[in-house]
């Protein structure tokens, strides 16, 4: 068939989708959040270990979804535990997606208003963003994943270059002593690093769209390793360049790192400019992931047409973005999201997998 009209995406596209759902506002605030949990220069170890934990959680989700090929979580959850509890679960998931989407776009608006556009009202930043995302989602998952694949290499490249250029203020002493106070601070730090990876629940509805669902595990692991590695480098370079103390005093540590030096000779002497550009692009991709997740959820749960739901979700997203009044509220919402991710994992995929396994074993037993 020459024209592809089914909504299937390839394995690489799945990985890129998962990466984009995790990489978001965290890259700006993560160093400070993690450093506040454990004041130690060994936080990079927490990030790595936290990442491994997250990968395991993602594998659980992927395996669960693989058992129901072609069906998203909104469709197979009712098969496992019946309609009413599944309904509640799915509603929770949808509310969670809308909350994250609102949070991400609000952080984008805050940073843009602070560094780039002072004086612009917040709706002038939020509304075009939401419209643009709506325009993209209309094209279905194929258009979305094509855009992600376009933007992903640019983002990673610029990020890598920015970090490499920050070596000029990098001081290895800021990262020493290694394990000076033992493993305890590392464990304390893990509490927040795991929460930073919130958002990968989209895996549960993504695997239904894969062309080769048997490669789902590989795709998911690859998809989450990339943000783990990027966050690892972020923490190393931010703390190495600025030291833990300065990170704790800085609201947006990553941007402050890039503003702490100038590369004379290049046209972009000030590196926060390309960084903010790619970060905006990345936030767009991130936001689109959740917008898409919420849309699919509502349309499958209530049996509504996909196109109408896209419009219906827009006001919810807008309201979710403007509810926090101050910057403290925004950060609290961020923390709340982290906790919700942890709770949701123990509330949705884990019990579902266990119940499914029990039922299957039970069936086999009977037979």
Partner 1 sequence: MWNIFVEYFPGWKTWCQALATMLVAIGAFLIQKHLFAWGKDISPGEQQSDNKLQQLTGNYDTDLQMIKQQLSKNSDVHFRDFRIIIGSSRATLVFVEGMQDEVLINRQVMQNLMDGNFQRSEGYVVQNHSEAFAAYVKEKLLPISKISEVADLYELEQSILFGFTALLIDGLPHVLLVGEPTPKVRAIEEPVSEGLLRGPRTGFTEVLGENTALLRQSGLASDLVLKMVEVGSRVKRNLVIAYMDGIVNPDLLKEVEDRIANINMDFIADTGYVEQFIEDNWLSPFQQVQNTERPDRVINSLLEGRIGILLDGTPFALIVPVTFSMLLQSPEDYYERWLPGTLLRMLRFFVAFLALMTPALYISFISFHPGLIPTELTITIIETRQGVPFPSLIEVLILEISIEILREAGIRLPKPIGPAMGIVGGLIIGDAAVQAGIVSPILVITVAVTAISSFAIPMYSAGITLRMLRFAGMLFAAVLGMYGTIMFFLLICCHLSKLKSFGVPYVSPVSPYRFNDWKDLVLRVPITLMKKRPIMMKTQNKRRKS
Partner 2 sequence: MSRYPFKCASFLLLCSFVLSGCWSSKEIEEKSVYVGMAVDVAKKTETEKQLEAQDGITPVDSIITATIQIVPVKSVKGNQESGGGGGEKYLNDSETGNSIFEIMRKYALRRDRAVIGHHLKVFVISTDLAKQVEISTLLDFMLRDNDIRPSCMVFLSQNTAADTLESNQPDEIPAFHMRDMVLNKYRNNEIMKPVILTNLDQHLKSKRSFTLQNIAVFERETEFAGAGIIKGETGKWIGNLTQQDVSSISWIKGESEGGLLKSVNDHNKLITYEIKSSKSKVTPQVNGDQISFNVDIRSDGRLIESWDQEDEISKVYTQVNLEQDFEEELKRQLESLIKKMQQEYKVEVAGFGERLRISHPRVWNKVKREWDEVFSRAEVNFDIKLKITDYGSSTE
Binding residues for partner 2, rule: CB under 8 A, are 114-115, 117-121, 124, 169, 173, 176-177, 180-181, 241-243, 245-246, 248-250, 256-257, 259-262, 270
Binding to partner 1 in span 84-123, by CB under 8 A: 112, 116-117, 120, 123
| Residue 176 binds: one of partner 2, partner 1, none (C-beta under 5 to 8 A by kind) | partner 2
Q: Which is nearer to partner 1, 130 or 236 (CB)?
A: 130
Q: Which is nearer to partner 1, 245 or 335 (CB)?
A: 335
The H or E element spanning position 367 is none
The C-alpha atoms of residue 214 and residue 299 are separated, in whole angstroms, by: 26
| Residue 163: how many other CB atoms lie within 10 Å | 23
CA atoms within 13 A on the CB side of 295: 25
Instruction: Give the 3-state DSSP-derived string for 142-201, with helices as H, strands as E and coil as C.
Output: HHHHHHHHHHHHHHHHHHHHHHHHHHHHCCHHHHCCCCCCCCHHHHHHHHHHHHHCCCHH
Contact 284, 137 (CB under 8 A): no
The C-alpha atoms of residue 147 and residue 292 are separated, in whole angstroms, by: 14
Tokens of 247: 């990170």
Tokens of 54: 């997250």
Give yes or no for residue 125 binding partner 1 (CB under 8 A): yes
Q: Which is nearer to partner 2, 75 or 260 (CB)?
A: 260
Q: What is the smallest separation between the CB atom of 206 and partner 1, expressed in angstroms?
A: 15
| Residue 269 binds: one of partner 2, partner 1, none (C-beta under 5 to 8 A by kind) | partner 1
Span from 48-56, 61-69, 157-165, 308-316 in contact with partner 1 (CB under 8 A)? 308-316
Give yes or no for residue 48 binding partner 1 (CB under 8 A): no
Residue 9: phi and psi, rounded to 5, are -120, 155
Give yes or no for residue 363 binding partner 1 (CB under 8 A): no
Site pattern 129..168 for partner 1 (x: CB under 8 A): xxxx-xxx-xx--xxxxxxxxxx-----------------
The answer to whether the bond into 177 is cis (omega within 30° of 0) is yes
Q: Which is nearer to partner 1, 152 or 200 (CB)?
A: 152
Tokens of 173: 């002493």
Contact 225, 53 (CB under 8 A): no
Q: Which is nearer to partner 2, 53 or 167 (CB)?
A: 167
Dihedral sign for Cα atoms in the order 345, 348, 349, 353: positive
| Residue 6 binds: one of partner 1, partner 2, none (C-beta under 5 to 8 A by kind) | none
Contact 60, 353 (CB under 8 A): yes
Q: What is the smallest separation between the CB atom of 134 and partner 2, expressed in angstroms?
A: 20
Q: Which is nearer to partner 1, 42 or 256 (CB)?
A: 256
Contact 54, 197 (CB under 8 A): yes
Can you tell me which of 60, 81, 169, 322 binds partner 1, judged by CB under 8 A?
Answer: 322
| Interface contacts to partner 1, rule CB under 8 A | 1-4, 9-10, 12-13, 112, 116-117, 120, 123-125, 127-132, 134-136, 138-139, 142-151, 262, 264, 267-270, 272-273, 276-277, 280-281, 284, 311-312, 314-316, 318-319, 322-325, 329
């Amino acid at each position: 068939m020459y024209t592809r009209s089914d909504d299937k995406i390839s394995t690489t596209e799945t990985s890129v989708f998962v990466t984009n759902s995790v990489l978001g506002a965290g890259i700006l605030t993560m160093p400070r959040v993690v450093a506040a949990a454990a004041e130690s220069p060994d936080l990079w170890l927490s990030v790595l270990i936290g990442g491994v934990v997250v990968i395991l959680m993602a594998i659980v989700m992927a395996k669960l979804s693989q058992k129901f090929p072609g069906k998203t979580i909104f469709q197979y959850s009712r098969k496992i535990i019946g309609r009413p509890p599944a309904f509640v679960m799915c509603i929770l998931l949808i509310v969670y997606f809308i909350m994250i989407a609102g949070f991400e776009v609000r952080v984008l608006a805050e940073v843009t208003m602070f560094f780039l556009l002072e004086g612009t009202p917040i709706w002038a930043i939020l509304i075009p963003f939401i419209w643009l995302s709506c325009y993209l989602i209309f094209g279905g998952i194929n258009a979305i994943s094509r855009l992600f694949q376009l933007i992903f290499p640019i983002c990673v490249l610029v990020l890598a270059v920015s970090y490499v250029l920050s070596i000029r203020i990098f001081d290895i002493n800021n990262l020493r002593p290694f394990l000076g106070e033992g493993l305890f601070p590392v464990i304390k730090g893990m509490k927040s690093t795991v929460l930073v990876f919130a958002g990968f629940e989209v895996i549960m509805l993504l695997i239904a769209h894969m062309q080769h669902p048997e490669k789902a595990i590989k795709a998911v692991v690859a998809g989450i390793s990339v943000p783990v590695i990027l966050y690892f480098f972020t923490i190393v370079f931010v703390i190495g360049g600025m030291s833990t103390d300065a990170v704790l005093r800085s609201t947006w540590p990553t941007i402050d790192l890039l503003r702490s030096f100038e590369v004379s000779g290049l046209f972009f002497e000030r590196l926060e400019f390309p960084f903010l550009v790619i970060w905006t692009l990345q936030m767009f991709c991130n936001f689109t992931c959740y917008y898409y997740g919420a849309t699919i959820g509502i349309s499958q749960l209530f049996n509504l047409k996909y196109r109408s739901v896209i419009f219906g979700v827009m006001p919810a997203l807008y309201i979710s973005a403007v509810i926090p009044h101050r910057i403290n509220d925004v950060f609290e919402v961020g923390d709340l999201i982290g906790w919700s991710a942890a709770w949701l994992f123990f509330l949705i995929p884990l019990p579902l997998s266990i119940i499914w396994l029990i039922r299957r074993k039970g069936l086999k037993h009977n037979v």
